[in-house]
Amino acid sequence: MTVNIKPLGSRVVVAPIEKDVETFAGGELVLPDTAKEKPQQGEVLAVGPGNRDDEGNRIPLDVEVGNTVVFAKYAGTGFKTEEGKEILILKESDILAKIE
């Protein structure tokens, strides 16, 4: 997915990765949206330039476009793109880990 959003500072744009089907011992179960937990993994779509240090130099972010990340459960601000896809804008500090 391409997105025309340029985050500022140490912000990161992430497309949440949702699991559509839950598997249990008896088979598969499709849960309605109201019963699903918020996703905590996503693909990085865009990164900001980073914050500035005391001398005015940019501090680069630890993530880059294309990384799969784990983020805090209720982190970020979500909104829908023109195509109807849900995306999040997170602070870099809300990202807990990169999945390699």
Q: pLDDT per residue over 21-51, tens digit each?
A: 555 666 666 666 555 566 699 999 999 999 9
What are the boundaries of each domain within the chain? Answer: 11-99
Chain centre distance of CA 41 = 7
Give 3 or 53, the one with higher predicted confidence: 53
Q: Which of 23, 48, 18 is nearest to 36 (CA)?
A: 18
Cα→Cα distances 5→36, 67, 99, Å? 27, 17, 23
CA distance 68 to 83: 21
CA distance 82 to 12: 19
CA distance 59 to 51: 6
pLDDT in tens, 37-94: 666 999 999 999 999 999 999 999 999 999 999 999 888 999 888 888 899 999 999 9
> What architecture is domain 11-99?
Roll (2.30)
**pTM as predicted:** 0.78
* Edge-to-edge strands, sheet with 11-16: 77-80, 86-91, 11-16, 41-47, 68-71, 95-99
